[in-house]
Chain A
Amino acid sequence: MANRGEIAIRISRACRELGIEAIAVYSDVDQDAPHVRAADRAERIGPAVPAGSYLSTEALLEAARRSGAEAVHPGYGFLSEDAGFAQAVEAAGLVFIGPPAETMKALGNKLTARRTAVDAGVSVTPGLMVAVDDAVRADLDDLGYPLLVKAAAGGGGRGMRRVDAPAALAEALDAAAREARAAFGDGTLYVERLILGARHVEVQLLGDRDGGLAILGERECSVQRRHQKLVEESPAPGLSPKTRERLAADARRVAEAVPFHSAATVEFLVDSEQGHWFLEMNTRLQVEHGVTELVTGVDLVAWQIRVAAGERLPPDVLEARPLGHAIQVRIYAEDPWRAFHPAAGRIGAWRMPDGPGVRVDAGGEAGLDLPTEYDPLLAKLMVHAADRPHAVTRLRRALDETRIGGLPTTLGFHRWLVDQPAFIAGEYDTRLVPDLWGDGPAPSDDDLQLAATAVALARTSGGTPGWGAPPTGAGEPDGDRPWARLAREEAVERD
């Protein structure tokens, strides 16, 4: 498992259910991390900095060789979409658990993916079909603003910038190229027209090595900040049956235009008139694969492994149809009231929900120091119910059972979300976070008084015993120094 955190735990679980020994890798800060303990064995791969460990093909292959591994699962992020890594794994005589390297290479580059989609007869968002250079900058004005600058090698919202007017273009291109180079080692950019008020909907694919291809429904992923998803659900609400069919058919066209097996996702934008455009294809397992697993009953990770071993998909997988409704919320160590600013620190309280229809895939636990080098995802909370209204009430119930201390998290945002009429009705698009949440609602007077009351009572009952460092986001370390605190608060307020 060339990964860490909750996804490495997820893969371990699939391996162990299949009777396969799961081998974790770890950087120096992860030696005793939950994902290491979830595996049968573990190999050190290097220092905390990802370039020396989870992003190092050499270190990962060396660990695979040392441990006698037969196959490598890349998870998501890190090297999961790196065709060079897939090739190196295969060249070392191991099986890469993912689509063929040539397909990863062709579709991993968003520009090539756009051309592949167009050739397959699938419409793409209006925009450049070539990389941004001085020659095409003049064409951008014809496209019309607002524009979206994207990294050809991109993903996860990095190297992406919205541009509202020509004057802001140069700075956005510079910033996006810098971020893309830092994240992907490739600063190549292209530009699309930004389609406002669209939904982000993606179709799950699972294929075997003999041409068997399952279209496992779609997921709605429009609740996003920084172009990164926070909430996903399946089936997507608000799709007409015709649009749902068209998305599935288009996803099949793209998959059949390239050599394909394993799991992948085709992403689309769907506008309010049910128009749809191909965005990109992710040649890997998605963070949100669990909602599809809940509604289809298909274990995507287990099937990735079985397909990699040469098995064919059976009819019950090829013809799987969604049952009921599933929703996932991503719990990040981020402060939703400070523009979802990521936080670091030590997790305090850690209480995950359970009961009927609840699944938690988590990489956190009480007392864990969250390394700053990696993604701040703490847990994915998923619910499954007979229909969407019941899934929403189940999610609300599960959120009320969940407690995480020590760090700010997105829990408060999710708890707010499940009470929003637009979310309850399933009528929302990518503007939900910027327009409806904005900077977040002010606390109610009741909540303020409860907080004051809680502190007063905690002090009279001896106070908290101080289980460690002060929680991240408190006035500390300047807590008792009003001058320093003032400056710090100002810095916090503005970035």
Chain B
Amino acid sequence: MTDDEEILLDGRPIEPDPGWELAWVDRTHGEAVLRRGAERVAVLIEGGPSEWLVTVRGRRIGVTVRGHRDRLLAESSRLLGRRHGPADVRATLPGLVVRVAVSPGDDVAEGDAMVTVEAMKMQNEIRAPRAGRVASVEVSPGQAIATGALLVRLADPEP
């Protein structure tokens, strides 16, 4: 780690505990054990170099390593706020679009169902992350989509 880097969990900086050491069990798959004196904790360490996932006791914890430039970018996006400005609503898993409940120009409230995606034999409602006006709809029923595919663009609600 360089001096201007920090480790974030949920956006909160966390200092590593210098008392621990790490030994790889299966490095290919990120299996490792943390040890401190007689203590041993099995962990899975995946991802990197900036976004990591660490599994401790069956729970996956997202860890971000951020340099100085990233920090500035993140700060500016935080200042803009999550409640305003354009927002892209994306697919969180691959599947088939079975229904589109909104059209450009529609006003949606937070939590409104916008797109139904069938995946893993289940119908998943993709909901509006916040109130807004639908700027564009990028998918149509019957369309197969990949993870991260843009579904709907939201703009600010009309005042």
Contact = CB atoms under 8 A, between A and B. Distances in A.
Nearest to A405: B44
A471 B53 contact: yes
B46 A456 contact: no
Interface string A157-193: 0100000000000000001001100110000000000
Contact of B122 (A158, A414, A473, A486): A158
Contact of B58 (A341, A415, A480): A415
B84 interface: no
B48 A464 contact: yes
A454 B47 contact: no
Interface string B76-99: 010000100001111111110011
Interface string A440-474: 00010001111111111111110111110011111
B123 interface: yes
Given A182-B98, A415-B58, A492 B122 contact: no
A491 interface: yes
B103 interface: no
A456 B20 CA distance: 10
Interface stretch (A141-149, A210-218, A369-377): A369-377
B135 interface: no
Interface stretch (A18-26, A119-127, A305-313, A343-351): A343-351
A471 B77 contact: no
A220 B136 CA distance: 48
A461 B25 CA distance: 13
Name B's interface SS. Answer: strand
Contacts of A402: 58
B157 interface: no
B58 A411 contact: yes
A461 B44 contact: no
B121 A375 contact: yes
B59 A412 contact: yes
Given A403-B42, A411-B58, A342 B118 contact: no
A439 interface: no
B148 A477 contact: yes
A488 interface: yes
B124 A483 contact: no
Contacts of B63: 451-452, 454-455
B138 interface: no
Contacts, number: 241
Interface residues of B, number: 78
Contacts of B77: 482-483, 486
A467 B14 contact: no
B44 A476 contact: no
A495 B46 contact: no
A415 B55 CA distance: 12
Nearest to B60: A408
Nearest to A472: B147
B88 to A, nearest CB: 4
A28 interface: no
A8 B79 CA distance: 54
B44 A348 contact: yes
Nearest to A464: B30
A495 B122 CA distance: 13
A470 B51 contact: yes
A457 B21 CA distance: 7
29 contacts: A182-B123, A341-B92, A342-B120, A344-B119, A372-B94, A399-B58, A405-B29, A412-B58, A415-B59, A447-B59, A449-B16, A453-B17, A455-B63, A457-B16, A459-B49, A461-B24, A464-B27, A464-B48, A467-B29, A474-B53, A475-B62, A475-B64, A478-B148, A479-B51, A483-B73, A487-B89, A490-B129, A494-B110, A495-B127
Interface of B: 1, 7, 9, 14-17, 20-22, 24, 26-32, 34, 41-65, 70, 73-74, 77, 82, 87-95, 98-99, 110-111, 118-130, 147-148, 151
Q: Which 9 A-B pairs have the closest CB atoms?
A: A475-B51, A412-B58, A457-B22, A349-B29, A456-B16, A490-B129, A451-B54, A415-B58, A411-B58
Interface of A: 156, 158, 175, 178-179, 182-183, 226, 335, 337, 341-344, 348-351, 366, 372, 374-376, 399-400, 402-403, 405-406, 408-409, 411-416, 443, 447-461, 463-467, 470-480, 482-484, 486-488, 490-495
Given A454-B22, A487-B90, A491-B129, 17 more contacts: A158-B122, A349-B29, A372-B95, A403-B42, A405-B29, A415-B57, A452-B9, A452-B15, A454-B34, A454-B56, A455-B16, A464-B45, A464-B46, A472-B147, A478-B148, A480-B50, A491-B151
